């Protein structure tokens, strides 16, 4: 079937490829199929009583039915044997007496043997009735022992509770004892029922009684508590998230269901009105099953959700306004069939969503619905006495089974939503941080661009001024000097120096993009012709340079002037034909870049009186935070400038 489903849902080209969601669905399907299987194993497993207990059960009793004329049961000598368990047969009782229908008295002759090892003489003996319907009164040798009415609350006539009665030893004679059990019909009970009865040592019977009592009484109350807690939680979630109507509906169903147990909890103080309310609460809970199924499987309801409030409203108003008989008829012929129909529809909705859409929630719910159906089958078998003694009705747990699954699905979804929110939150946080970072960078870039733009405007203006004014005039002066054939006189030299410096200033204003290599390239372009004019050849070598931050025009001009001074000094005074300029990473701690200007002249560089060249170089290096080293010897002079990675 899986193959058919998957090939129908997917193009034929890739039938072998399984979607990961499909795999998940198969896992959920396996879980939800295993639930009914486990339930079946649990409920249809034969109950093995301890070997010592089995013989204590009686198969037979004597039965007497009260006469139609109302004679006392004890007076009637018409005892006849009957097999246990006993189920009231309409033929047994007069049909006209509706009140006393199914009223019957059972007489058991119990032989009490003192000192009997099996009986454990001297021990407390008890009468154990695993199950009955109606009310019981028990007498021992004519002395009234107990009535089930003392313990039974109004609603427990529906659920089958066990009864364990200690037989007081003063009343218990050695030999035959007469135990009489009167079964009476109670309101709401159609048939009386009495299970097999055991008489024996209390120690043997009590564990069996405890087990039964737990299942019949303690467990339902625990489940009531669970339903109340879960229902309130759902309502609280709905209060916080009103648009999730499923939490309201499901919380309502859980609380209605819990309310239907109120008579059992309140016990003897329960009255007719409360009993009726309990029945109505259960019906109300049933009327919400269909909308909840729709919401759970994520399907759009065929009708607006408020329509489903009409049925409970009708139920309540019919109870409050209509005559009792009419209300009862309405209940039996309209409302209950309607609710059963809605439940069947809900089942169809869930199973269809599970199979066609492979909805995980629907698959789980279908599994628990199957388990619930098994419980119903089990009860049908029990009622027809096909499962032997020690079996009890379990269908009260069917709705609990489905509701537990639905709660699990809802809580799982809630947690998943929280997880998704967490992930979303984290992603948003990361994205916001990234956006902020991008914005910050963009802002910084924009600021830098604005700064550069201002600088460039200023540079263009300055260049224009220099170009048209002082630079042109300097060149003119130079030309005049040359025309007078005095190209190498001090005036011409000074003018050349001024022109060179002017060009350095202009170059320093250029944006080098914090790239020392670009900056040095601009210097090379300017120094090379000057050195050539002075008859010196330049060799230039550049190793990959570390990044130097803060190459603003001021710093650039300082570096230019140091290099210019070193280069021109070498050209004028060293006597070397070649000048080597090198750039590379600095070996000094802290990294940075090392620039060297090296000649092969006669050295002897020292501060000369009246010349501030070297002092100026040192001052500029200091401004840059750089280290200036001048090494002058017979092999030549080397000027080394070590720049820090961050210029001030």
Residues that bind another protein (CB under 8 A): 445, 448-449, 452-453, 456-457, 460, 463-464, 466-468, 471-472, 475-480, 482-483, 496, 499, 502-503, 506-507, 510-511, 513, 517-518, 520-522, 524-525, 529, 532-533, 540, 542
For residues 562 and 508, what is the distance between their CA atoms, to the nearest angstrom? Answer: 13
Going by DSSP bridges, is the β-strand pair 143-147/593-599 parallel, antiparallel, or unpaired?
A: unpaired
Beta bridge partners of 136: 183
Specify the residue, 223 or 522, whose C-beta has the smaller distance to another protein.
Answer: 522
For residues 424 and 429, what is the distance between their CA atoms, to the nearest angstrom? Answer: 8
* Shortest distance, position 517 Cβ to another protein, whole Å: 6
Specify the residue, 420 or 475, whose C-beta has the smaller distance to another protein.
Answer: 475
Specify the residue, 230 or 506, whose C-beta has the smaller distance to another protein.
Answer: 506
How far is CA 441 from each of CA 350, 429, 446, 503, 646, rounded to the nearest angstrom?
Answer: 55, 18, 8, 34, 20
Cα torsion 608, 611, 615, 620: sign:
negative
* Shortest distance, position 435 Cβ to another protein, whole Å: 22
Beta bridge partners of 580: 539, 598
DSSP summary character for residue 333: I
Cα torsion 405, 408, 413, 414: sign:
positive
| CA proximity to 127, closest of 34, 194, 219 | 194
Cα torsion 479, 484, 485, 491: sign:
negative
Going by DSSP bridges, is the β-strand pair 132-133/125-129 parallel, antiparallel, or unpaired?
A: unpaired
For residues 123 and 114, what is the distance between their CA atoms, to the nearest angstrom? Answer: 9
* Shortest distance, position 607 Cβ to another protein, whole Å: 31
* Shortest distance, position 440 Cβ to another protein, whole Å: 17
Q: Which two tokens stand for residue 139?
A: 């007498």
Specify the residue, 313 or 448, whose C-beta has the smaller distance to another protein.
Answer: 448
Q: Which helix (H) or strand (E) holds 607?
A: none
Specify the residue, 9 or 513, whose C-beta has the smaller distance to another protein.
Answer: 513
Asked if residues 352 and 365 have their Cβ atoms less than 8 Å apart, the reply is no
User: Which residues fall within 8 angstroms of residue 255, CB to CB, at 6 or more apart?
Assistant: 227, 228, 231, 232, 235
Query: CA neighbours within 13 Å on the CB side: how many for 309?
Result: 7
Asked if residues 576 and 536 have their Cβ atoms less than 8 Å apart, the reply is yes
* Shortest distance, position 460 Cβ to another protein, whole Å: 6
For residues 150 and 163, what is the distance between their CA atoms, to the nearest angstrom? Answer: 11
For residues 518 and 542, what is the distance between their CA atoms, to the nearest angstrom? Answer: 11
* Shortest distance, position 441 Cβ to another protein, whole Å: 13
| CA proximity to 269, closest of 155, 426, 362 | 155
* Shortest distance, position 448 Cβ to another protein, whole Å: 6
For residues 613 and 621, what is the distance between their CA atoms, to the nearest angstrom? Answer: 12
Specify the residue, 22 or 514, whose C-beta has the smaller distance to another protein.
Answer: 514
* Shortest distance, position 564 Cβ to another protein, whole Å: 16
Residue position matching structure tokens 């048939």: 191
* Shortest distance, position 534 Cβ to another protein, whole Å: 11
* Shortest distance, position 483 Cβ to another protein, whole Å: 6
Specify the residue, 229 or 453, whose C-beta has the smaller distance to another protein.
Answer: 453
* Shortest distance, position 629 Cβ to another protein, whole Å: 24
Specify the residue, 329 or 440, whose C-beta has the smaller distance to another protein.
Answer: 440
Q: Is 228 exposed, middle or buried (0-12, 13-18, 19+ CB in 10 A)?
A: middle
* Shortest distance, position 546 Cβ to another protein, whole Å: 16
For residues 66 and 72, what is the distance between their CA atoms, to the nearest angstrom? Answer: 7
Give the chain's length. 648
* Shortest distance, position 463 Cβ to another protein, whole Å: 5
* Shortest distance, position 506 Cβ to another protein, whole Å: 6
* Shortest distance, position 479 Cβ to another protein, whole Å: 4
Specify the residue, 334 or 463, whose C-beta has the smaller distance to another protein.
Answer: 463
Asked if residues 409 and 365 have their Cβ atoms less than 8 Å apart, the reply is yes
For residues 150 and 161, what is the distance between their CA atoms, to the nearest angstrom? Answer: 13
Specify the residue, 468 or 547, whose C-beta has the smaller distance to another protein.
Answer: 468
DSSP summary character for residue 549: B
For residues 203 and 534, what is the distance between their CA atoms, to the nearest angstrom? Answer: 126
| CA proximity to 531, closest of 583, 487, 496, 559 | 496
Specify the residue, 169 or 488, whose C-beta has the smaller distance to another protein.
Answer: 488
Specify the residue, 337 or 472, whose C-beta has the smaller distance to another protein.
Answer: 472
* Shortest distance, position 542 Cβ to another protein, whole Å: 7
**Neighbour-count burial for 471-487, b at 16+ CB within 10 Å, e otherwise:** beebeebbeebeeeeee
User: Which residues fall within 8 angstroms of residue 264, CB to CB, at 6 or more apart?
Assistant: 153, 155, 156, 159, 220, 221, 270
Specify the residue, 391 or 512, whose C-beta has the smaller distance to another protein.
Answer: 512
Judged by phi (left if over 0) then psi (alpha if -120 to 50, else beta), residue 495 lies in alpha
Specify the residue, 269 or 456, whose C-beta has the smaller distance to another protein.
Answer: 456
Specify the residue, 52 or 578, whose C-beta has the smaller distance to another protein.
Answer: 578
Specify the residue, 390 or 596, whose C-beta has the smaller distance to another protein.
Answer: 596
């Amino acid at each position: 079937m899986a193959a058919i489903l998957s090939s129908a849902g997917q193009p034929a080209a890739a039938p072998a490829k399984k979607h990961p969601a499909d795999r998940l669905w198969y896992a959920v399907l396996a879980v939800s199929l295993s639930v009914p299987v486990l339930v079946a194993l649990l409920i249809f497993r034969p109950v093995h009583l301890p070997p010592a207990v089995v013989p204590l059960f009686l198969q037979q009793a004597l039965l007497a039915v009260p006469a139609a004329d109302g004679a006392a049961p004890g007076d009637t000598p018409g005892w006849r044997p009957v097999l246990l368990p006993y189920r009231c047969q309409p033929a047994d009782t007069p049909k006209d007496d509706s009140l006393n229908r199914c009223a019957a008295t059972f007489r058991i002759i119990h032989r009490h043997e003192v000192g009997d090892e099996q009986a454990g003489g001297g021990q407390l003996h008890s009468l154990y009735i695993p199950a009955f319907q109606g009310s019981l009164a028990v007498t021992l040798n004519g002395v009234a022992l107990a009535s089930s009415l003392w313990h039974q609350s109004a609603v427990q006539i529906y659920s089958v509770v066990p009864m364990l009665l200690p037989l007081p030893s003063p009343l218990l004679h050695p030999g035959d004892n007469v135990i009489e059990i009167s079964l009476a019909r109670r309101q709401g009970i159609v048939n009386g029922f009495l299970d097999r009865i055991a008489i024996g040592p209390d120690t043997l019977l009590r564990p069996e009684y405890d087990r039964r009592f737990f299942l019949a009484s303690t467990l339902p109350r625990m489940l009531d508590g669970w339903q109340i807690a879960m229902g309130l939680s759902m309502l609280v979630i709905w209060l916080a998230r009103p648009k999730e109507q499923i939490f309201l509906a499901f919380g309502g169903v859980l609380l209605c269901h819990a309310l239907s147990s109120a008579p059992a909890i309140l016990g003897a103080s329960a009255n007719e009105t409360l009993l009726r309310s309990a029945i109505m609460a259960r019906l109300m809970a049933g009327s919400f099953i269909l909308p909840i199924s729709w919401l759970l499987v994520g399907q759009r309801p065929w009708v607006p959700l408020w329509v489903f409030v009409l049925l409970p409203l009708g139920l309540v108003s019919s109870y409050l306004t209509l005559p009792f008989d009419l209300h009862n008829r309405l209940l039996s012929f309209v409302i209950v069939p309607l609710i059963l129909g809605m439940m069947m529809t809900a089942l169809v909705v869930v199973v269809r969503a599970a199979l066609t859409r492979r909805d995980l929630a629907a698959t789980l719910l279908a599994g628990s619905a199957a388990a619930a159906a098994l419980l119903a089958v089990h009860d049908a078998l029990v009622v027809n006495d096909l499962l032997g003694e020690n079996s009890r009705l379990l269908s009260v747990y069917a709705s609990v089974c489905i509701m537990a699954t639905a709660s699990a699905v809802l809580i799982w979804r809630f947690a998943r939503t929280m997880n998704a929110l967490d992930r979303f939150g984290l992603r948003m946080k990361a994205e916001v941080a990234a956006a902020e970072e991008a914005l910050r960078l963009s802002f910084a870039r924009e600021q830098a661009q604005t700064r550069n733009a201002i600088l460039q405007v200023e540079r263009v203006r300055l260049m224009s001024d220099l170009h048209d004014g002082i630079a042109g005039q300097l060149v003119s002066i130079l030309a005049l000097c040359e025309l007078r054939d005095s190209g190498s006189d001090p005036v011409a030299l000074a003018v050349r120096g001024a022109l060179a410096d002017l060009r350095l200033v202009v170059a320093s204003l250029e944006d080098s993009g914090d790239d020392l290599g670009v900056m040095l390239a601009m210097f090379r372009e300017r120094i090379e012709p000057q050195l050539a004019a002075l008859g010196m050849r330049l060799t230039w070598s550049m190793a990959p340079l570390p990044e130097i931050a803060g190459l603003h025009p001021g710093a650039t001009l300082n570096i230019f002037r140091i290099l210019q001074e070193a280069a021109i000094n070498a050209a004028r005074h060293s006597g070397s034909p070649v000048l080597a300029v090198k750039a590379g990473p600095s070996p000094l701690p802290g990294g940075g870049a090392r620039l060297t200007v090296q000649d092969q002249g006669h050295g002897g560089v020292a501060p000369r009186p009246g010349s501030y060249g070297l002092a100026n170089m040192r001052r500029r290096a200091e401004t840059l935070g750089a280290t200036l080293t001048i090494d002058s010897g017979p092999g030549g002079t080397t000027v080394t400038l070590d720049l820090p990675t961050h210029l001030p």
